[in-house]
Structure 1
Amino acid sequence: MVNPAACPFCEIIAGDDASARLMYRSQEVTAFFPLEPATRGHTLVVPNRHAAELTDLTASEARDLGEAVLKTAQAIRSALAPEGLNVIQSTGAAATQTVPHVHFHLVPRWSGDRMTLHWPAGAAEDDQSQTRTLAVIQAALCGEQTTVEAEDRRQHLSFIQAVVTRMSQASSASKSWLLPLVTVTYGYAITSKSFFVALLGCLAVLVFGLLDANYLKQERAFRKLYDEVAAGRPIPAFSMNPALASPVGTRVNYWPDWPDVRSWAVAPVYGPLLLAGLGVAGWLLCR
């Protein structure tokens, strides 16, 4: 924490720096030229109360500062007619803040001036990571991390549980549909001695197996979301996006993963049926 008495901006606000080129000073805000302006008309706008970072401002101070920034920008545009204008605010050393007193740079711009700003190419996060980052910030913005009522959380959990139940029912239904289908297909292949019908039955097993594995994957994803919501993690209220429960940077794969395929609910059911179909097809091929 910097002592306001040692702050160069506080000295300017107090009128103790005779070399300062003061533009104006109100009860709340002061505007002045920096020691080494980057361009013609480069101006700093600061709150009169010493606040080290932007987040230290009160709501009223932020309003006063915002109005002063707008007023100063309009004056600069009117007086100097620049081709453009940068409004820059840096908070923290990592953001290049060198004076620990909140300040906004208003930098008039002309083509070919000596001011340079470079943004990195490409996105810092992929689409799914951006979605999760957005959700976390929105939750903090709305104060949901501390204001979610117990009843709202219970309702959110019930919504997620309904999806888990639906995925489980869909998995059961896929098995119920497949068993008579493969029975008819394999039986017809044997009685009619049709190798291709046996392969058709094998294909049906593969398709239903993939569907069932995907149902299992979705069920696991929503169960993880359930655990995150139950633990009070920063998940937006009533969000049904299971990707929010995954670590930032995790890539979304819409195909079943190997653990889903070899699960006891999938491999022991569809594996023997597929082997039986292949056995029938092999027997018919060798006849």
Structure 2
Amino acid sequence: MSLDTDYDNDNIFAKIIRGDMNCVKLYETDDILAFMDVFPQSEGHCLVIHKHAKATSLFDISPDDLSALAQAVQKVAKAVKEALAPDGVRIAQFNGAPAGQTVYHLHFHIIPVFEGKRLDDHARGGPAEAAALEPAAKKIRDKI
């Protein structure tokens, strides 16, 4: 997929927004949704998306929607930092397949990094069960 890919209303995040697929929610407003990544690279790896912007990449979103999204990323990242006490926090956003994008709905990854612990490969093996993600999710929700 290129940087000029049209928005697909059936992408996995669109399905989550519509309620057609489940997720482990962390934070939600009228415009924003944050939830646990089912292919976590570390404990607490989560995603933040805009619910209404039909943006496949950073290049497709309005400045106002991007501002709301960035503010939500900061809010959730602060909660991750407080809840899990990582040694660092990686904020990642990919645009286009060559850059590593696999879901064509603009999203930000918040990945806690713990010294001495290697990050897992993304999407390696099967998805995590909701029950396995819930302990970290509860800690993060409690700090939002």
Summarize deviations over 1:26-56 as a string: whole Å, max 9, x none.
1111101111111000010011123111110
1:120-199 matches, cutoff 5 A:
none
Distance (whole Å) between structure 2 residues aligned to residue 101 and residue 47 of structure 1: 9
RMSD of aligned residue pairs (Cα, Å):
1.5
Is structure 2 residue 16 aligned with structure 1 residue 12?
yes
Aligned to 2:50: 47
Structure 1 residue 3, shift from structure 2 partner: 2.3
Higher strand fraction (1 or 2): 2
Aligned residue pairs, count: 115
| Residue of structure 1 aligned with 2:61, choices 54, 57, 63 | 57
| Residue matched to 2:84 | 80
Q: Gapped runs of 5+ residues in structure 1?
A: 118-287
Distance 2:68 2:7 in 1: 23
Q: CA deviation at 1:99?
A: 0.5
- The one-character-per-residue Cα deviations of 1:156-186 (angstroms, maximum 9, x if unpaired) are xxxxxxxxxxxxxxxxxxxxxxxxxxxxxxx
Answer 1 or 2: which has greater helix percent: 1
Give the Å deviation of 1:2: 4.2
The answer to whether residue 44 in structure 2 is matched with residue 33 in structure 1 is: no
Residue of structure 2 equivalent to 1:94? 98
Q: Scaled by the length of structure 1, what TM-score is found?
A: 0.39
- The alignment status of 1:69 with 2:76, answered yes or no, reads no
2-structure distance, mates of 1:58, 1:100: 16
In structure 2, the partner of 1:211 is: none
- The whole-number CA distance in structure 1 between the counterparts of 2:62 and 2:35 is 22
- Structure 2 CA distance for aligned equivalents of residues 75 and 9 of structure 1: 22
Following TM superposition, where does structure 1 have runs of at least 4 consecutive aligned residues deviating by more than 4 angstroms?
Answer: none
**How many Å separate the matches in 2 of 1:11 and 1:84?**
31
Q: Which one has more relative contact order, counting CA pairs under 8 Å at least 6 apart? A: 2
- In structure 1, the partner of 2:107 is 103
- Any stretches of 5+ residues in structure 2 without a counterpart? 1-5, 122-144
Distance, in Å, in 1 between the alignment partners of 2:31 and 2:46 is 17
The question of whether the paired residues in 2 share the 8 Å contact of 1:13 and 1:25 is answered with no
